[in-house]
Structure 1
Amino acid sequence: MSPNPENFPAPEPSPTEPGEASFHLAPNGQAGKVLGCLLGGALGDALGYAVEFSKLSEIRAAFGPDGLRDFAALPSPVPFSDDTQMTLYTLDGLLEALEWANQGLGADETACIWLAYLRWLKTQGVPLDPGAPSPPLRWIDSQTVLHQRRAPGNACISGLSGPDMGTKFRPVNPDSKGCGTVMRSAPFGLLPYVESEMVYRLSEDAAALTHGHPSALHSAAVFSALIHDLLAPDASLQEAADEAVRRAADSGVPELSARLTAAVDLARSGPVAPEALTAALGEGWVAEEALAIALYSALATVSAGSPQEHFRTALALSVNHDGDSDSTGSVTGNILGTLYGTGALPASWVAALDGRDVIEELARQFTAATAG
């Protein structure tokens, strides 16, 4: 049965307008890691979105033999895609569930995510099915920067266009394993005081809202658990990657396990040519490939130097290839933004990013709701 939207309260007004909160580029604590994850993902998304549908030869022709490596090569403000839009709506769905919990009331987290995604669907100009609930609007829905239609995934659109909520046991798009589950799932890993197993389950259940293939579900869940591991103050990227490989092996999805193992093995050679990257890991259009490329990009560039140089080098590696550059860039940015916090983010990139204030305000609200 679909949840009754009248059971969900109207949103509380935001305590500050975007830009009023002193949350810009917070230090590398809990708040800094949350904001680093969200802004880092948006930066990777934006860099990759500029070349998402371009062949490697076209990228090199436009930006030189090393490809696109810096926001300075793009007109400002630099837009992000549906990847960041859906990530922020994932965050807002979790935020609504947290608001319920902080009032001493229970709520189905996956239902809250579904209602958030339905609100996102409306921003894309797609009418809701007459049988689907019509959730009340929240602060995020008034942010016009999120109303741009920027190549949303077909499975995400079709999976939300029916009257019922997709589940693992009643799947929508049962054969789809597109990367639309992975690119939106970082917020589950940002939940503090939650066991990794719960993060995994929540992410898997939310992935089933739009995709049904086991790789789509478990790739998203492994990614969310990876982000959760990196949330610790003393997190190790290599240890988190090894744990992701273990979780992938335990998932029962052979292609996910094979791709992540290949990603970690390839990273030992350092950065390789884009042609070798896609030959080994795929182009990122499907879930396990997108996660593998991102994990490889983060691991292969650890010797780049400072956290900021690591971030820049990894993102360049993750987007310059024949494939789904915005999703691979977004996931890479989520990983390193969580690992390092906001200190890794190039200030000039952040300043040029379209919608930065919306991301910062949602991060502030989420951090406030999870404090204590």
Structure 2
Amino acid sequence: MLRAGTVTVNIAERANAAMLGVALGDALGATLEFMTPAEIRAQFGVHRDITGGGWLRVKPGQITDDTGMMLALADAIHACNGKIEAHACARAFDTWMRNKPVDIGNTVRRGISNFRLTGEPHVKHSEEAAGNGALMRCLPVALATHGADFDTVMAGWRAQAHATHHNDLSDQSGELFMRLMRAVLDGASKRQLLHEIAHPFAKTYPAFAFRPKRRDYPSGYVVDTSQAVLQAFFDTDSFEECLVEVVNRGGDADTTGAIAGMLAGAHYGPGALPARWLNSLDPAIRERCSREGAALLQFSAQAESI
């Protein structure tokens, strides 16, 4: 059990808060995607509310590819009764793309197109595939495999990630955030997350060191994304300030917001999610995310090697 202020938060609540956190960070950050910090300051001062707009001209509370692919992955896991199966993941992503999402990254598009042409659920390893598209959608894996041995967790990661992103840095980011999410769901403190996971991981994989350099205008490169998210999470003291901090750095702001929302949502729990943001979120997305985390977590008890 984890205490948020005086409120005890259980693991199912943290799982739901993480799902909602992805959607909230996505919707908050979409307004600022591809803007520089200077442009953001000139137009908004500090962007703190879910207002829509941006280069995608999204409606207030509308989500983008980050949340859309996360929910598609959840669909694939449900279809396989909790298993994370590569063909099911690729089919779910294909269905998502056929529904004409508001945005789709080039690496994701190429991977799904490869599946359509070949039937192969995994793309070949590529040094050019170090984007953040596999990381942004990874939460269902962390939930459905929670408590399983870590080889099973990473097999689940690869089953979904390699549909579009088969790259060592992408896989390393997956290992880092799978470890962080497992610990935070189990109630680890922020100090434990920092000193027992994040810093030791950076010693093994120096590309993921995030101190002392501040990462402004993080690109879609998964290392930039990881550094920006970790800096914002560890340097703030609330869910709202974490997300405000990271999206106002601009760049790939919907994705940094989504991933920060995943981690911060699980850490702070549902009571920390701003009511005004929840009220602004697309009602159908809000309703699904508010229960999807707990639904996926139920599979973790039966998780087995993939």
Interval of TM-score (by shorter of Structure 1 and Structure 2):
0.7 to 0.9
CA distance in 2, matches of 1:249, 1:122: 41
3-state SS in 2 of match to 1:278 = coil
CA distance in 1, matches of 2:28, 2:228: 15
1:229 correspondence with 2:157: no
Matches of 2:188 and 2:174, distance apart in 1: 20
Match in the other structure for 2:251: 323
- The amino acid across from 2:76 in the alignment is G
Deviates most, 75-84 or 111-120: 75-84
Amino-acid identity (%) = 27
Equivalent residue number for residue 156 of structure 1: 108
In the alignment, the residues of structure 1 paired with residue 180 and residue 220 of structure 2 have an alpha-carbon distance, to the nearest angstrom, of: 20
CA shift for structure 1 position 109? 2.2
Task: Show CA shifts across 1:344-371 (max 9, x none).
Answer: 2111211110121232353454345556
State the match for 2:206 in structure 1: 258
- Whole-Å Cα distance in 2 between the matches of residues 73 and 115 of structure 1? 30
> Aligned partners of 1:295 and 1:347: how far apart in 2?
24
Task: Please give the alpha-carbon distance, in whole angstroms, between the structure 2 residues aligned to 1:316 and 1:43.
Answer: 11
The answer (yes or no) to whether the contact 1:159–1:173 under 8 Å persists in 2 is: no
Contact 2:232 2:246 in 1 (8 A): yes
Q: 1:294 to 1:327 in 2, by over 3 A?
A: same
Mark the structure with the bigger radius of gyration.
1
Task: Work out the CA distance in 2 between the residues paired with 1:222 and 1:154.
Answer: 24
> Who is 2:92 aligned against?
116
RMSD of aligned residue pairs (Cα, Å): 2.6
Match of 2:234 among 299, 316, 326: 299
Q: Which residue of 1 aligns with 2:4?
A: none
- Measure, in 2, the Cα distance between the counterparts of 1:197 and 1:57: 43
Q: TM-score, normalised by structure 2?
A: 0.83
Deviation at 1:212, TM superposition (A): 2.4
* Matching residue of 1:165: 120
Partners of 1:238 and 1:165 in 2: CA distance? 42
- Within 1, Cα distance between the matches of 2:248 and 2:81? 38
Output the CA distance in 1 between the equivalents of 2:33 and 2:295: 31
Q: Specify whether residues 116 and 334 from structure 1 end up closer, same or farther in structure 2 by C-alpha distance, changes over 3 A only.
A: same
- The whole-number CA distance in structure 1 between the counterparts of 2:134 and 2:214 is 22
Alignment of 1:42-57 (within 5 A): 42-57=23-38
Contact 1:81/1:150 (8 A) holds in 2: yes
Q: Structure 1: where are the runs of 5+ without partners?
A: 1-25, 100-106, 125-148, 251-256, 267-275, 303-309
- State the Cα distance separating 1:331 from its structure 2 match: 0.6
> Which whole-Å deviations, capped at 9, do the CAs of 1:45-76 have from their partners, x for residues lacking one?
11110110222222112212xx2023379897
1:30 to 3, 11, 19: 11
1:289 to 220, 224, 235: 224
For the 8 Å contact 1:337–1:345, the answer to whether it is kept is yes
Provide the aligned length of Structure 1 versus Structure 2.
285
Q: Equivalent residue for 2:214?
A: 277
Q: CA deviation at 1:114?
A: 1.9
Structure 1 length as normaliser, TM-score? 0.69
One-letter code aligned to 2:49 = D
Would the alpha carbon gap of residues 356 and 27 (structure 1) be closer, same or farther in structure 2, given more than 3 Å must change?
A: farther
Pairing partner for 2:61 from 46, 64, 78:
78
